[in-house]
Amino acid sequence: MVYGIVPKKEYPMKPLVSLFSFAVTAAALAGPQITIYNDGFATVKEERTLKIREGVSEIRVSDVTRQLEPDSVMVRELGDTPLGFRILEQSFVNDPLTEGLLLHQFEGRTLRFEEKREDGTIRETTGRIIRSGYIPGQGMAEQPIVESDGGVRFSLPGQPVFSGIDSTAFLKSSLVWQLASDKAGATPVEIAYITAGMSWEATYNLVTPAEGGDTFDLTGWITLRNETGKTIQDAEVKLIAGDVKKIRARPDFDEFAGAIEMRMLAPAAAMPEQRAFDEFHLYTLPRPVELRNNEMKQVEFIRATGVKGLRYYVYNPLVGFGFGGGVVTDPDYGTQAGKKVGVRIEISNSETNQLGVPLPKGRMRLYRTDDRDGRREFTGENTMDHLPKNELLKLDMGHAFDLVGERTRTDFSIDTTAKRMSETIAISLRNRKDVPVEIRVIEPMYRSANWKLTAQSADHTKVDSHTAEFRIPVPADGETVLTYTVEYRW
């Protein structure tokens, strides 16, 4: 007896028409087009030929992704003389043929098993499947129960042997359509759908010059991930950069939690084409690629040399503090301050600076050239958001080992009757390098919306309505103390 995945349905009007041999017909059609979004989903567009009979018939479209969203499927005819068929019903079969599924169909029946002994001989036995252990949609989620040799065991007595597979069995995830058509014939169609399990991200390598230089080298890579359960051959790949609104449940990737193969393509002579698309930016890879299931692949998409940048130090001891909209009279507020001095890099994304292209969000890795041997050493990384052209890239890239800041409040007074507060701050900046540096000190004015500095040992710049910035030179192996007094009123 032959067993398949699902019972074959009977339809009184017309026999079944199967696309089970799709791999043969697909060779004559254009390759698939994949548009991948930052947030873990993609649109798939494939051209296929449907062989349709007059009346009502069933069509199987096999080899779609396992994370396809069935209600996103769209079909359009591509031929000059469309048949005008209609889809009456659609089913998404996402439980392809496995040993467990066949065992599930044999529950209550007797099956032959083969057990290989240590001496290489094969022992044959039969057993009645009381419970297969297979739960549709969950796999082998329970222990099997088999009645064999006059007893009951909670395991299989060997490798199950089946007499055959139904020719209509689902070997891959498939769409099954009930179609109605007034005409018969073969018609080319485009099938489009949204699928989870596919994503892309940008990663950048920024090589900083030797100490004292200001010219950078920048390369960017696109990393593609395919965890859809389907290998896609010769795909034309487009990438959408931007925050696309999509309502969806969080996908469960446990089924694809195996090892991910990673391949890096050699830098191509042609870089991905970039253009504006709606409110986003679209990148098209220069040639078709193969997206294997459970694969991570990299393609270079930008390379720039001679990029001018600015590297400087920032002491921002009160990260997280800021004006919250009220008056803060607690004298202890703001007295807990950090001591680390950060390293920041600024780069103008402009044509005059060898760039001037929209840069998608991603991870930026920083390398510095060793003065002695010319080798590049990794010195930090951070993430960057989408950066339009002609905007300024600001990256915080860790902390300076030889620079220390220390913030102390030396005086505080409050007059609630006059609605006035005064606070004096002393900031010690110590430089243990062999060369002088400049440190930018960021101070939030967090107690009230109405503030002014009544005394200061160095000039400040008002960055915004609640932030002052001081640029303080610190000598080699020396110390500079910044002091200021701020008065708040409300």
Give tens-digit pLDDT for 117-171. 888 888 889 999 999 988 876 778 889 999 998 899 999 988 899 877 766 666 7
Span 293-308, average pLDDT? 90
Q: Rounded distance, CA 247 to CA 39, Å?
A: 11
Kindly report the backbone phi and psi dihedral angles of residue 195, in degrees, each rounded to the nearest multiple of 5, phi listed first. -135, 145
Q: Is the pLDDT of residue 274 over 80?
A: no
Span 280-299, average pLDDT? 86
Tell me which residue has tokens 């800041």.
Answer: 405
Q: Is the pLDDT of residue 469 over 90?
A: yes
360 Cα distance to chain centroid: 12
pTM: 0.66
Q: How buried is residue 31: exposed, middle or buried, by Cβ count under 10 Å (0-12/13-18/19+)?
A: middle
Give pLDDT tens digits for 352-399: 999 998 898 899 999 988 878 878 889 888 999 888 889 999 989 889
Q: Which range among 11-20, 202-211, 231-240, 425-434 has the greatest average pLDDT?
A: 425-434
Provide the token pair at 268: 């191509």
Give pLDDT tens digits for 330-343: 888 888 888 999 99
Q: Are 402 and 477 in contact (CB under 8 A)?
A: no
Q: Are 206 and 367 in contact (CB under 8 A)?
A: yes
Q: Rounded distance, CA 444 to CA 312, Å?
A: 20
What does the chain come to in residues? 490
Q: Is the pLDDT of residue 84 over 50?
A: yes
Q: Please measure the distance between the N-terminal and C-terminal CA atoms of the chain and give it in whole angstroms.
A: 89
Q: Are 436 and 426 in contact (CB under 8 A)?
A: no
Question: Which element (helix H / strand E) includes 102?
Answer: helix 99-105
464-to-322, 330, 385, 391, 445 alpha-carbon distances in Å: 12, 24, 22, 19, 10
Query: Using the 8-state DSSP alphabet, how is residue 25 labeled?
Result: H
Q: Are 484 and 460 in contact (CB under 8 A)?
A: yes
Q: State the Cα angle at 24 between 22 and 30, rounded to 5°.
A: 80
Q: Are 29 and 23 in contact (CB under 8 A)?
A: no
Q: What is the CA radius of gyration of the chain?
A: 33
User: What is the b/e burial string over 385-421, where b = at least 16 CB atoms within 10 angstroms of the residue's CB?
Assistant: ebbeeeeebebebebbeebbbbbeeeeeebeeeeeeb
Span 421-425, average pLDDT? 96
